[in-house]
Amino acid sequence: MRKGGKRKSTSQKQETEVKASSSSQENQKENHKLASQAKRAKTSKPQPQLEYFEDKRNLEDLWKAAFPVGTEWDQLDSVYQFNWNFSNLEEAFEEGGRLYGKKVYLFGCTEPQLVPYKGENKVICIPVVVAVVSPFPPSDKIGINSVQREAEEIVPMKQMKMDWVPYIPLENRDSQVDRLQSQMFILSCTQRRVALKQMKIDRLKKYEYCLPYFYQPLKEDELEQSTEVQIIFPAAQKPVFCEFDWELDELDEFTDQLIEADELDKDKKDAFKEFVKERVREAKKANRQAREARKKALEEMSEETKAAFENMRFYKFYPIPTPDTPDVSNVKAPFINRYYGKAHEVL
């Protein structure tokens, strides 16, 4: 009996040890599991917050794509320092807008104006976009003129690395350009700014004096009627800048007035008079040739082309006011340039 009781006692002890060992192993597993979960919790990266970007408008960069002709190179950055809003231009191409469904040629320009901004008046280079509604390009030429230049130049656009190119709206930029029937064309310039340092000063300045050229054969040009000539007479002290009207001004009297005003040296009187006479002869010849060219162009022009010129329309777009940009509402003007004259509508 004692032997049997001893075996039973030993057996119970072994069973207790096995249970304790098993319980210890389970505790270790549980602790390991909790430790692993804690480790994963510590090493897991925080989920990034979703950022929402406003969808770009289909024609949002149209105003930037149109090269600002005649703007000084060192002023370009100041033009783009503001996020100008041309939604009025974009809306004009939507259904019901002035330009909807029409073939349009657009070019940019800038107008330095004194405007209010953040409580003070500042001279700001304001971007402007001119839209020409026409079935064909209004011109393939550029005018180069300034007070400092003796003579006006009319040159092919490509000579100044400019041309009319299709504008592709954002939604179509994955398509092949040649397959798109574009109705919008912008005046583009491929001259790289990085190459300007190697450019001669005279060539560089030409870009600043450029004006989009337009000739309206159905209307007599103001230059054809003009009797004035710009005079830039070279002199040792300083050049003589003036305007001479061969119908209103008498040359001897005109010259004497310049001498009295100390604008011209007395010993240069005869040379100045010959200089003016030569400029007048050149101007009269240019006027005569312009009238003859216009007459010939009209004779050779088809009725379809005449109708196109008659129906051509110019629209001038200014940026609309926003809290982040200067208000240009009070400086809007219909005048485009000396070739295009005034816009039919200013927006």
219 or 166, higher pLDDT: 166
| Model-wide pTM > 0.85 | no
76 neighbors 70 (Cβ within 8 angstroms): no
What is the maximum span of the chain, computed from C-alpha positions, in angstroms?
Answer: 159
Name the pLDDT band for 185 (thresholds 50, 70, 90).
Answer: very high
214 neighbors 339 (Cβ within 8 angstroms): yes
224 neighbors 294 (Cβ within 8 angstroms): yes
pLDDT at residue 48 greater than cutoff 70 = no
Name the pLDDT band for 188 (thresholds 50, 70, 90).
Answer: confident
8-state DSSP, 186 = E
Q: How far apart are the first and last CA of the chain?
A: 118
Specify the amino acid at residue 126. I
pLDDT at residue 238 greater than cutoff 80 = no
As a whole number of angstroms, the distance between CA 1 and CA 193 comes to 113
Q: Tokens 């909807």 correspond to what residue?
A: 100
Q: What is the mean pLDDT of residues 159-177?
A: 76
8-state DSSP, 335 = E
Q: Taken in order 259, 260, 263, 266, is the CA torsion positive or negative?
A: positive
121 neighbors 127 (Cβ within 8 angstroms): no
pLDDT at residue 16 greater than cutoff 70 = no
As a whole number of angstroms, the distance between CA 19 and CA 13 comes to 10
123 or 173, higher pLDDT: 123
Mean pLDDT of the chain, nearest integer: 78
- Predicted confidence at residue 173, as pLDDT, reads 61
> Which parts of the chain are beta strand (E)?
104-117, 120-133, 141-144, 153-156, 162-166, 184-189, 210-212, 228-233, 240-245, 313-317, 335-337, 341-342, 345-346
Quick one: what percent of the chain has pLDDT higher than 90? Answer: 11
Quick one: what percent of the chain has pLDDT higher than 70? Answer: 74
pLDDT one-digit tens code per residue, 242-284: 888 888 889 999 999 888 888 888 888 888 889 999 888 888 8
Name the pLDDT band for 8 (thresholds 50, 70, 90).
Answer: very low
Domain ranges of the chain: 61-217+312-346, 218-300
Q: What is the mean pLDDT of residues 298-307?
A: 85
Q: What is the mean pLDDT of residues 321-333?
A: 88
pLDDT one-digit tens code per residue, 124-144: 888 999 999 999 999 888 888
Specify the amino acid at residue 180. L
According to CATH, the topology of domain 218-300 is Ubiquitin-like (UB roll) (3.10.20)
